[in-house]
Amino acid sequence: MDVLDVLLLMAGFEASVATVCPVGWHRYGKACYFVVNEIRGWHIAKSICAASQASLAVPNSLEEQTFIWELLQWEFYPDGPGNGAWIGCNDIDWEGDWQNCPLRGDDTNAYQNWREGKPDNQRGGADCALMVNSAGGKWGNQLCTNPRYATCELAIIDYDPLFCLQIGTHGHIISPCLTDNHVLMEFDQGLESCGMACLSHPKCSSFNLKDQGQGKTVCQLNDLTLQNAADEDVVEIENCYGLDL
Ligand SMILES: [Ca+2]
Ligand SMILES: [Ca+2]
């Protein structure tokens, strides 16, 4: 066989399921985001997120801020999220002690995006932060009871995927590829990026890496799972399952 066929499977299918975003959520980096498309007070919005084991989103970088803001723009195209969308920053417990976000002027280098003059303590209790539509997403603070949209953030379990590679006595990887009719997509990628692509694809449960020669590999993402395989094809190697086709 001049084509090196490799079968790679993530360790534990349940673990890999937990690392993809639920339907309707949007992946960015190591988190999934969901727009609460109804106007609610900050505490209710927080509990809506909590119902999905998520928290109100906290932008921790310019890139994350931009992603969340563009998601809101997309969700509420073309006018944006009305009077704004709650984020997780608040000084509910102690006036001026902003949880999850630094206070304006904080010198820790933690990301902040307060609009001019914010946060303040207008009307004696503007304890919850939001992305302000009219300020291009910069943060303001308002009464927590104000009805606003919101964005939830769900961290993805961060683990190093473990791959099963069956190595023959000659040192080559000998596992055969999965059947072609389970391929979701294919593209040129190396081992690590192919595995990461599979992790971030909601339907990917396994992948092939085909050696095309001259150092080139093709990555195929598959939707084949153990449920699709005949019992006699499944092999278990320590913590990993593979398909012995
Ligand atoms: Ca965040
Ligand atoms: Ca306050």
Nearest to 32 by CA among 50, 45, 19: 19
Domains: count for the chain:
2
Same domain, yes or no, for 147 and 34?
Answer: yes
Calculate how far, in angstroms, residue 114's C-alpha sits from the geometric centre of ligand 2. 14
The pLDDT tens digits for 111-163 are: 999 999 999 977 678 999 999 999 999 999 999 999 999 999 998 765 444 44
Residues 213 and 231 in one domain: yes
The domain in which residue 112 lies consists of 26-155
65 and 144, same domain (yes or no):
yes
Asked if 91 and 101 count as a contact pair (C-beta separation under 8 A), the reply is no
Strand 128-131 to 183-188 pairing: unpaired
Nearby residues for ligand 2 (ion, Cβ within 5 Å): 91, 121, 127
- Mark which of 136, 155, 174 sits at the end of a domain: 155
Shortest-distance ligand to the CA of residue 88: 1
Q: Which uninterrupted H or E stretch holds 28?
A: strand 26-28
Same domain, yes or no: 49 and 69: yes
Task: Please write the tens of the pLDDT for every residue from 7-38.
Answer: 444 333 333 333 567 778 898 988 899 999 99
Looking at the structure, tell me whether residues 182 and 148 fall in a common domain: no
Residues 204 and 121 in one domain: no
Compute, in angstroms, the gap from residue 73 CA to the centroid of ligand 1.
18
- The CATH number of whichever domain residue 138 belongs to comes to 3.10.100.10
Distance 43 CA to ligand 2 centre (A): 15
Q: Tell me the whole-structure pTM to 2 decimals.
A: 0.61
Report which bound ligand comes closest to the CA of 129: 2
